[in-house]
Structure 1
Amino acid sequence: MVDAIKQKVTELVGLSSFPTKKLGKNGPQVTQMGFGLMGLSAFYGKPKPDEERYAMLDHVYNSGELFWDSADMYQDSEDLIGRWFKRNPGAREKIFLATKFANYVDPKTGERSVRNEPEYIQQACDKSLSRLGIDYIDLYYCHRVDANQPIEITVKEMKKLQDAGKVKYLGLSEVSAETLRRACKVAHIDAIQMEYSPFSMEVETEGVLQACRELGVALVAYSPLGRGFLTGSIRSRSDFGEGDFRSFAPRFSEENFHKNLELVDKLKALADKKGCTTGQLVLAFLLNSGDDVFPIPGTTKIKNFDENMGATKIRLTEEEDKEIRHAIDNAEVKGGRYPEAFSKALLVDTVPLSEYKGPHSA
């Protein structure tokens, strides 16, 4: 009985303990720090047993973290969430759930492609709704845009999903500032998801964050901890387990690894001075960059999740923010974010509608 009371108190405290912000000019209030679910299912080694993953989701939910981010390409992520919803009646209505489409793997050949065709968008959405076992998706992203199809065609089709009630809010990922501006002329884009961390500042240097602010679009920062590198816990390539995609990422190569540790160590020194962990300092820095920035760190460990969420209580002074930016500005980050074959899908400009001669041209 005592344990049950303690659990209930934890739930009540958690549900009001994290700051919320408005997701873009038209969106709802959501937890400013979201939770990325990719690592529970894909790309960071073999997934843990279901019961362990359910326990992780239980903890995240009970803590009050209610902004969850998934994608149809994250192996069984959508299925896992769907099963968890069935185990937790009433939870779905409290969670603001984001998922994504466009990264396609041919089941016969294993070949990867980016698919934005209107027919595929409809099929992908219906499949995600089925896997999740829900009637609507809160935030639906085009995970990667096809440079050969005008963004206007893609967004027009996504707007149909919104009009049909299958999707509440629209999102894009890894688009250029110009692509975002064009998209918003078709329908308001509520959020864009971009890699944003001390290792990846392109959203600032390429004008994407500025465009978001001009248009009232939220910026959801994925990999805010540099895929774990910026926590300081990864000190060598031997820390990666079998099947961990970071083993193939240029930033983590034998040639670049030790060079990139220099920025990690500079940030650790600043974190030690602040009295927090390196990861918390980085997350606090991103939260401090604006009420329209929503980091979504992911983890498979409850301890790490609690540490990450602790960043919401850290307040940086103007001087501390300047020190962090100075460390970033004076660091030379080595290696790309992804292997070269995937890099062409980043910060994409799509073909102008006026030049398009494809099957869905006006």
Structure 2
Amino acid sequence: MPLRELGRDGPMVGAIGFGCLSLSGYYGGGALDETAAIRLIHGAIDLGVTLLDTADMYGMGDNERVLGKAIAHRRDAVFVATKFGNILDSTGKIIGISGRPDFVRRSCEQSLRRLGIEAIDLYQQHRIDRETPIEETVGAMQELVDEGKVRFIGVGEARPSDLRRAVATATITTLQSEYSLFVRAPESDDVLSVCEELGVGFLAYAPLGRGLLAGRFPGPDEFVEGDSRAKGLYPWLTGDDLEHNRALVHELGNVAAELGATTAQASLAWLLSEREWIVPIPGTRHAEYVEQNISAAFLELPESSRRRLDALGRNALGDRYNAHHMPTWTSSPSESSPPPAPEARRHV
């Protein structure tokens, strides 16, 4: 697996990571059996994956526990990334977001116990808390670095203004946001350009468009129970927008065929070609797809093919989240962050 540096002077990780979300049944089918999940993670590691991305909210903590068991005897081979910030009720429903310093510290201690490790390689704020100055949040995260409980820190779905304030306060290694051939918000919102300016690496979640770019998106009557994609959360994956985007996937297939690749591999190869500090973190429940995804890191993408893919993706239609979730779950500029706390100081 080729290696990539996460940001300026950041850690080296495999060019393609592994997102653990789907192991908890986010796209239906329930949580993957623990033995099967561990086998899948081990298979990814054997193929060269080093960055494993989870979150404290996935499976209400079970995702971290399973990952911890999977890496118990392979700790030196992996780079563990987890996230905090979402407040859940007893059913696992998100009822709030917190970046308060006391919440940051408590969440970190809980993740360390579930993962069974002494230090988290990359600790990320899952979503920005619009009620807490980001300086307070990342300041608390930096203190965890100073204490040896965390090695690097990152933010999720941050706007350029958020990122600038965070970098002015702490050493930020990564920003994680949704980015794919069909979801281009990090480009239009100037997130990528600011990451480049500030030397911050980028983790691309949902790099295969929640299955659409892999050609494996269910029809209206094919969703299994518990599949979040059936709930209208993602407008670009519903109704007329979905049908339009499905047609684009057919065109994507033509380009991929010329490359001797799958649509998923072509999509990941395009993403890797965008910036040398972007690391996609696709997830799956199937070993064969893990292998296919990793193969994209070795796919040669001619400039002519890259341009065709780029133009094709710009024709995708629809918002990535619905109006209810857009302000808090994404880097949409519809709200502004609270002003910096008067006592805010730089933690580096």
> Normalization by structure 1: what TM-score?
0.89
2:218 and 2:226 mapped to 1: Cα distance?
18
Which position in structure 2 is the counterpart of 1:337? 320
1:60 aligns with 2:44: yes
Which position in structure 2 is the counterpart of 1:19? 2
Which position in structure 1 is the counterpart of 2:247? 262
1:318 to 303, 309, 312: 303
Per the TM alignment, residue 341 of structure 1 is displaced from its structure 2 partner at its CA by 2.5
Amino acid across the alignment from 2:272: L
1:80 to 46, 50, 66: 66
1:353 to 340, 344, 347: 340
Per the TM alignment, residue 111 of structure 1 is displaced from its structure 2 partner at its CA by 5.4
Per the TM alignment, residue 149 of structure 1 is displaced from its structure 2 partner at its CA by 1.7
Relative to 1, partners in 2 of residues 1:190 and 1:109: Cα closer, same or farther, differing over 3 Å?
closer
2:135 and 2:94 mapped to 1: Cα distance?
26
Relative to 1, partners in 2 of residues 1:110 and 1:290: Cα closer, same or farther, differing over 3 Å?
closer
Per the TM alignment, residue 213 of structure 1 is displaced from its structure 2 partner at its CA by 0.6
Relative to 1, partners in 2 of residues 1:228 and 1:109: Cα closer, same or farther, differing over 3 Å?
closer
The answer (yes or no) to whether the contact 2:47–2:294 under 8 Å persists in 1 is no
Q: Specify every segment of 5 or more residues in structure 2 that has no aligned partner in the other structure, as ranges.
A: none
2:133 to 150, 155, 165: 150
2:123 and 2:37 mapped to 1: Cα distance?
23
2:71 and 2:280 mapped to 1: Cα distance?
24
1:40 and 1:180 mapped to 2: Cα distance?
30
Amino acid across the alignment from 1:210: S
1:181 and 1:206 mapped to 2: Cα distance?
14
Deviations 1:151-205 (A, max 9, x none): 1111111111111111000100001111101110011210000100122101111
Paired residues, number: 336
2:147 to 150, 164, 175: 164
Amino acid across the alignment from 1:119: D
Q: Specify every segment of 5 or more residues in structure 1 that has no aligned partner in the other structure, as ranges.
A: 1-17
Per the TM alignment, residue 218 of structure 1 is displaced from its structure 2 partner at its CA by 0.4
1:193 to 171, 176, 185: 176
Amino acid across the alignment from 1:199: F
Which position in structure 2 is the counterpart of 1:36? 19
- Aligned identity (percent) is 35
1:100 to 73, 83, 88: 83
2:214 to 231, 246, 258: 231
2:281 to 296, 307, 315: 296
2:71 and 2:316 mapped to 1: Cα distance?
44
Per the TM alignment, residue 350 of structure 1 is displaced from its structure 2 partner at its CA by 1.4
Q: Which stretch of the first structure deviates more once superposed, 93-102 or 336-345?
A: 336-345
The answer (yes or no) to whether the contact 1:237–1:254 under 8 Å persists in 2 is no
Per the TM alignment, residue 109 of structure 1 is displaced from its structure 2 partner at its CA by 9.5
Secondary structure at the counterpart of residue 276 of structure 1? coil
Per the TM alignment, residue 338 of structure 1 is displaced from its structure 2 partner at its CA by 2.5
Relative to 1, partners in 2 of residues 1:282 and 1:111: Cα closer, same or farther, differing over 3 Å?
closer
Amino acid across the alignment from 1:223: A
Which position in structure 2 is the counterpart of 1:7? none
2:275 and 2:91 mapped to 1: Cα distance?
45
